[in-house]
Amino acid sequence: MRHRRLGRTALKVSEICLGTMNFGPNTVEADSFKLLDHALDNDINFVDTADQYGGPLGVGATESIIGGWLAQGAGRREKVVLATKLYEPMSDRPNDRGLSARHIRLACDASLRRLQTDHIDVYQMHHIDRTAPWDEVWQAMEILVAQGKISYVGSSNFAGWTVAQANEAAASRHFLGLVSEQSLYNLVERTIELEVIPACEAYGVGVLPWSPLAGGLLAGVLSADEVGRRASQHMHERVAQLRPQLEAWERLCSELGESSATVGIAWLLHQPAVTAPVVGPRTVEQLNDALRAPSVRLTEDVLRRLDEIFPGPGPAPEAYAW
């Protein structure tokens, strides 16, 4: 497993980031511990979560599972670059959400308690808060950095212009600003190529693609049980809509002698500004598909064929201006 700098920082993270949204709702604690240990044993040092993850177990449940794993010691905390997020509602109280200075402070302290650690390496805003002035957001983040509670600040689901606005506001305060942006990005969903990726390239912000396999569409869905009786109606509709492309996709992966999941993640690692796709395995077997991806080199011909199967939007403004 190779490691890359996270954006313009000197921080080194693995080319695969272990996403943990399934921990708790779909993967019990014992199996979550096994996944975390397996990731660490294979040089994945980047773990991503969010305060809101937990599903029916309740908000904070996933962070608590990770905290229990870290509490086992044996250098786990020292070996891991730990990222979490804030913004989503944590209760029905009006101030228990968003990016107010008050919520940033309280949310960080609550995450630290659940994670059983004294610092968060990458503290990410899960969404833009249109009611929070950037001076308020950055002042709160600066205090957390000064207190040693966080090291870097990242964003998630930001538009290109908000990445630029956030970093310009931070620069005016002589603060580092955003170092990462976690966005929906895969061969099927390439909208961020219009403006988010160019903005991230310009500001030295590392892109962390979430849903790298499009919710399973790029994981060999045509030959798997995912399209069987257990699959959602939405999945059936998406497969029907994209069947010609998916058939061409799976044929190409078969030609390459690689699993569809491996090639889908490998493609992201060939894209500009991408630091590490965020994979969310439920099992060790699924994680193993991701572990192989960094070693897969796609030729220019293969990349061209993938663009033909799943065309990107093209650069902005040309894509929509003429």
In this prediction, residue 228 carries a pLDDT of 52
pLDDT tens for 151-178 read: 999 999 999 999 999 999 999 999 999 9
Range of the domain at 67: 3-321
- 282, with CB counted inside 10 A (0-12, 13-18, 19+), is middle
Q: What percent of the chain is predicted at pLDDT more than 90?
A: 95
Tell me how many domains the chain contains: 1
In this prediction, residue 322 carries a pLDDT of 78
CATH number of the domain residue 235 falls in: 3.20.20.100
Amino acid identity at 134: W
Please tell me which residue in 53, 152, 185, 203 is annotated as part of the active site: 53
In this prediction, residue 279 carries a pLDDT of 97
53 as an active site residue: the answer is yes
Listed residue (35, 117, 31) closest to 78, CA to CA: 117
In whole numbers, what is the pLDDT of the chain averaged over residues? 96
In the chain, count of helices (H) and strands (E)? 12, 10
pLDDT tens for 209-259 read: 999 999 999 999 997 655 554 567 888 899 999 999 999 999 999 999 999
In this prediction, residue 69 carries a pLDDT of 98
